[in-house]
Structure 1
Amino acid sequence: LAILKNINFKIFEGDKILITGKSGIGKSTLFKSLLNELPLIKGKILVDNQLNKSNFLSNFGIVGQDTYIFAESLRFNLTLGKDIPSSQLIKVLKKVKLEYLANKKHLDTPIGEKGLSLSGGEKRKVEIARALLNKKEFLLVDEGLSGLDDDSRKQVFSLLQSLPQTIIEIEHTMSIEDKQKFNQVVNLVAK
């Protein structure tokens, strides 16, 4: 049984795309299809007018409403154990507006009960920083603004809009003003 049918749109490098629609309409299913977690029954995903390139999937970073933060140092949460110079970590923390954490002392401070206590917005920014450090060309943002207070929501939204990456974002609620900041809004509807 196909959940999504006749979905057809083009995304250009650097575009900011918003996917909207009621709960259960297939927004997350669309993401899973892009990530090849759900095979297509029919149709194809073309990249540069070719079928999925082998490295295409490795170019996706994911920012979700359930940000996963390890009970490890900030450095580990950014690098996931990869050897990345502190200067690069500090630079990306500044880029995601976590300037107060952008120093060697905080990089080696644990996150959690006995260390840094991060808000929901700060955790999302760490997740975005992680994707930037891994040089992801595409960010899939699945309800990345939900559950945040107004200030954090505005900061994370502004940050996502300012990034050079191509961003495909799912959101249930978004103001008309914010919707106008996207290159394209794809509204999934039941037929």
Structure 2
Amino acid sequence: MHATYSALVDTYLRHFPDEATALDSLRQRLAIPDDPHDRTTMAGHITGSGIILDEQGRVLLIFHEVLQRWLQPGGHVEAGEWAWQGVLREMCEETGAATARIIPWCEDERVPFDIDIHPIPARPSKGEALHLHFDFRYLVRLEGQLADRGPEGEVGDVRWFTPGEDEGRLVCVAAAMEKLARRGGTV
């Protein structure tokens, strides 16, 4: 598993070499021989999220009730999943989409379009200390209409945003959107 993730990071860095220093902590984490998804590992763990785009160039975000901000859908990778599989599951769970698919942008569709490393605040109620998420971000298309999600708990709302319309809410996907713009707006 570690070798596969290391290979994905290597491929990612061939496309985005200027991010090598920023990903040093991820590379160090992948050198630890345990489950890189294990959410009890406070050294940090791999998560996955999706930059969901539609044909009009809009981005779908969820309102995260616990963090009280708009984010791209995603979350923890479950046992037996890889990051890209967890992303597809989370996309459907959090948005109400029937199916989702990763938009391939390079020779290996398992390579994320963006990797973000960010701190997650301590949540004593869940027994979690401050830790890092190594978020593998994929470009995603949803198939079909969004259905009623039912009570999701952490997801308060799901909404499409047009870049330029409300930049404050799009901060969470700004780096990925800049990369997309540098590539001519398409993958």
TM-score (norm 2): 0.24
Q: Larger Cα Rg: Structure 1 or Structure 2?
A: 1
Q: Whose relative contact order is higher, 1 or 2, with alpha carbons under 8 Å and at least 6 apart?
A: 1
